[in-house]
Amino acid sequence: MARMKFLCDSDRCIECNGCVTACKNEHETPWGISRRRVVTLGDGLPGEKSVSVACMHCSDAPCMAVCPTDCFYRTDEGVVLHDKDQCIGCGYCFYACPFGAPQFPQTGNFGMRGKMDKCTFCAGGPEKDGSAEEKKKYGNNRLAEGKLPLCAEMCSTKALLAGDADVISEIFRERALHRGKGGELWGWKQAYGKDGAPVAKAVKEEKK
């Protein structure tokens, strides 16, 4: 059984924000809603690292656990989706999510929140697949067409991978073999460098 996941190769991401633009264009999300964003550590310094972040479709999703209206569900492919008709826009999921994935449209005055919007892994929502209503509420349903999320499919450096976890981890494994390294994809040293690395040095100097 497929288990859909995202994997971002921080050695390849060039912070072009193409994934962000592709997502916004594909799903025609309203002003102020960005389902995906690129986070850069040590921005502007030599050795900076970028990573594209959206909903990670957690296997044990905290948003699901805290939702007071139980509007979240997980598909057979492991994609975490929600029913906007059930959502009350309370924002609990935003506080629970470690990735800041849930987005809320500012629909009125005084910071009034609309219904939550987040990355759907291009799998739409609980409306008829490919219908106008699904498109309006959740964006395009590419997964039902046998396609994968557009953010990953159009990534120019193929830093962002999306698909069945087994398949994309195999792609990454092959890549790491060719590269001759790969264990450093994630972790403190990759993000902040060793003691002598430029990012760590700059942080130290900033503290002085």
Partner 1 sequence: MKSTSLKIVAALAAACLLSACGEKVQTAGDYRGKTDSKAYDANFGGDKAKWEAATRARAQNQNDHKRIP
Minimum distance from residue 189 beta carbon to partner 1 (Å): 26
Nearer to partner 1 by Cβ, of 62 and 100: the residue is 62
Nearer to partner 1 by Cβ, of 81 and 200: the residue is 81
Minimum distance from residue 134 beta carbon to partner 1 (Å): 10
Minimum distance from residue 46 beta carbon to partner 1 (Å): 26
Q: How far apart are CA 170 and CA 166, in angstroms?
A: 6
Nearer to partner 1 by Cβ, of 11 and 106: the residue is 11
Residue 130 CB neighbours (<10 A): 12
Nearer to partner 1 by Cβ, of 100 and 126: the residue is 126
Distant-in-sequence, close-in-space partners of 116: CB < 8 Å, separation ≥ 6: 82, 84, 87, 89, 91, 93, 94, 102, 103, 104
Minimum distance from residue 171 beta carbon to partner 1 (Å): 4
Question: 87-110 in b/e burial notation, b at 16+ Cβ within 10 A?
Answer: bebeebbbeebebebbbbbeeeee
Nearer to partner 1 by Cβ, of 113 and 158: the residue is 158
In contact, 116 and 89? CB cutoff 8 Å: yes
Minimum distance from residue 174 beta carbon to partner 1 (Å): 5
Q: Which residue has tokens 């190769």?
A: 9
Which residues of this chain interact with partner 1, rule CB under 8 A? Answer: 2, 64-65, 67, 69-73, 75-77, 81-83, 85-86, 123, 125-130, 141, 143-148, 152-153, 155, 158, 161-164, 167-168, 171, 174-175, 178
Q: Which residue has tokens 């060793």?
A: 194
In contact, 10 and 47? CB cutoff 8 Å: no
